[in-house]
A and B are shown apart, each in its own frame.
Chain A
Amino acid sequence: MNGWAQRFDEVSFAPGTDGFWIVLVGALVAAACSFVGCFLVLRRMSMLGDAISHAVLPGIVLAFLFSGSREILPMILGAGALGLLTAFTTDLLTRHGKLPNDASIGVTFTFLFAIGVILVSRFTGQVDLDLDCVLYGEILYAPFDTLKLNGADLGPRSAWVMGTVALANLAFLLLGWSRLKVCAFDSALAAALGVNVVLWHYLLMAFVSMTTVAAFESVGVILVVGMLIVPANTAYLLTDRLWLMHALAVLAGVLSALGGYLLATALNGSIAGAMATVSGLLYLLAAVFGPRHGVLSKQIHQRRLRTAPAADSVSG
């Protein structure tokens, strides 16, 4: 009892505290990722999000080398280019290399990520970037890297960056809603209606790339992948409405950020890792207890069918 009470004294979410900023950055990452992650999941491209989040690494290093700074804009451009290259190469290998889609994704992103690893290790003296940071992120340090304007402290830089990216993704989602939806549900119809399916595909990939590079610095590759895909899948299990799926994905992501911070403090472990773990646990809960697609409700439904076969088996 005492131990817990003591820990909760340390864990504070009051505005301005480290805990507040860490959870806020995590929640913004979750929101930004969910806004693009849901359509990735619906288009059965979960692994492409995974691939892009790894493959942007060489783009980031090259942007570091060319610009000589940690400015966010060159990094986004470098990562964006590599992200689109990943999507393009995957498509090319699937279409002309006779590789199954999952294999071409695997080939592409491991290759690009490996190049990134070489670049990081070779130029590690020149760039302020190490592999641990890329993989696991340093969300713990987020509160210390603050943005200053005319001497005034505006709060952590990563909160501003992720907030901007989340807003940009939300704007993309709202403006492109109809087009994104028809491309995801029925791309043949979309093309027949004159929608530029290829353009929307690469637009989505560009936003995924941008989100990844903005988020990797604070939370690392592992959590970006988790936040892109896991909350969206959790939400997919919980609803049959598209807008609600997006809202629930954001909610699941924010809960993961909050729960992950608590878990990390309790265990004194990696915050990013704990956030990803909690998002996985939330998925598990949804998979078991979900109202329509959950394992339990399916069992109950089947039992009902068995006891009253005549009533339910007739379909319109």
Chain B
Amino acid sequence: MSPAVPGVPIEVHDLTVAYHHRPVLWDIDLQFPEGKLIAVVGPNGAGKSTLIKAIMGLVPLASGHVKIYGKPAEEGRASVAYVPQRGSVDWDFPTNALDVVLMGRYGHLPLFGRPRRRDKEIARQSLEKVGMLEFANRQISQLSGGQQQRVFLARALTQQARVYLMDEPFAGVDASTERAIVTLLHDLREQGGTLVVVHHDLQTVPQYFDHVLLLNLRTVAFGPVAEVFTAQNLQKTYGGQLGVLTEVGERLRNTDWSRRRG
């Protein structure tokens, strides 16, 4: 992972996405800054996953475009690793953890190629980084939810990307996996990586992330957590669902912002 040319990892311009004529994302304009850990938060159906999928070219865009390091998205996607939601695949598929991780290398394979020894080495190293090497030969159906999530992260690591897009990596994982993921995210950021993470737990946003995107169909606010993660913006994003918010508001007031890096 070489930071090489600094630039704008992901630029989203005028983006609108609609399912069956109903817009799920409306006129999104964003520039994700390099080397930051960025949370995407918003209520259910706010378009968080859709935004990630739109950047990856997995849903048709009604309008707008995406640029990756200044290039059209189709050309730039090789430098982006995508971690889909864990529930998006069939974990009864007959394969083992190492094999799933190896799939991250398929973008590097020639048309009819098979993974080489080097690809397998990279896959093993990635499994080690998420503390899953001892489970390399375990059938994926026999892994716990947290372990499955770690396998997905290891798979993204094998892509040796500069940008990571993760859809709810913390959903339904145990506490030790959550700590392991946070450590991994911070390591990747230290190495110059840019990480965009769909996140559902508002309380941990100030603790884990540098920037936050508050999303509900449109961009409600985007910027450093210290500036935009305010009770007022949360109120705008989540509307009437106040119950969730009071506790977060309480925490925000008690957070010592000076300790955090920008």
Contacts and interface: CB of A to CB of B under 8 A. Distances in A.
B78 A194 contact: yes
B84 A181 contact: no
B114 A189 contact: no
Interface string B78-108: 1010101000111001111001100110110
Given A178-B109, A178-B114, A185 B144 contact: no
Contacts of A244: 94
A178 B58 contact: no
B115 A185 contact: no
A178 B94 contact: no
Interface stretch (A143-151, A233-241, A274-282): A233-241
Contacts of A316: 144, 147
B56 interface: yes
A188 B88 contact: yes
Contacts of B6: none
Most buried by B among A189, A239, A245: A189
- Which size bracket describes the interface of B in this complex? 20 to 34
B139 interface: yes
A277 B180 CA distance: 52
Contacts of A179: 106, 111
Contacts of A239: 94
If over half of A's interface residues share one DSSP class (helix, strand or loop), that class is named, otherwise mixed; here it is helix
B125 to A, nearest CB: 19
A236 B93 CA distance: 9
A178 B103 CA distance: 8
Contact of A240 (B53, B58, B89, B94): B94
Interface residues of A, number: 29
Given A175-B112, A194-B107, A240-B94, A189 B84 contact: yes
A95 to B, nearest CB: 10
Given A176-B112, A186-B84, A316-B147, A195 B106 contact: yes
A191 B58 contact: yes
Interface string B50-71: 0001001110000000000000
B234 to A, nearest CB: 30
Contact of A189 (B90, B103, B141): B103
Contacts of A193: 103-104, 106-107, 159
B77 interface: yes
B107 to A, nearest CB: 4
B113 interface: yes
A316 B100 CA distance: 19
Given A185-B89, A188-B82, A191-B57, A178 B95 contact: no
Contact of A242 (B89, B94, B106): B94
Interface string A259-274: 0000000000000000
Contact of B106 (A175, A178, A188, A241): A178
Contacts of B58: 188, 191-192
Contacts of A176: 112
A81 B155 CA distance: 38
A186 B141 contact: no
A182 interface: yes
A6 interface: no
Contacts of B84: 186, 188-189
B69 to A, nearest CB: 16
A182 B103 contact: yes
A35 to B, nearest CB: 16
Interface in A142-179: 175-179
Given A42-B94, A191-B57, A193-B159, 5 more contacts: A42-B93, A181-B103, A188-B84, A189-B103, A192-B56
27 contacts: A42-B94, A176-B112, A178-B109, A178-B115, A181-B95, A182-B103, A184-B93, A185-B90, A185-B100, A186-B88, A186-B103, A188-B58, A188-B84, A189-B84, A191-B57, A191-B58, A192-B57, A192-B80, A193-B159, A194-B78, A195-B106, A240-B94, A240-B96, A240-B139, A241-B94, A316-B144, A316-B147
Interface of A: 42, 44, 175-179, 181-182, 184-186, 188-195, 236, 239-242, 244-245, 315-316
Interface of B: 53, 56-58, 77-78, 80, 82, 84, 88-90, 93-96, 99-100, 103-104, 106-107, 109, 111-115, 139, 141, 144, 147, 155, 159
- 3 pairs of A and B residues whose beta carbons are closest in the complex: A193-B107, A192-B82, A240-B139
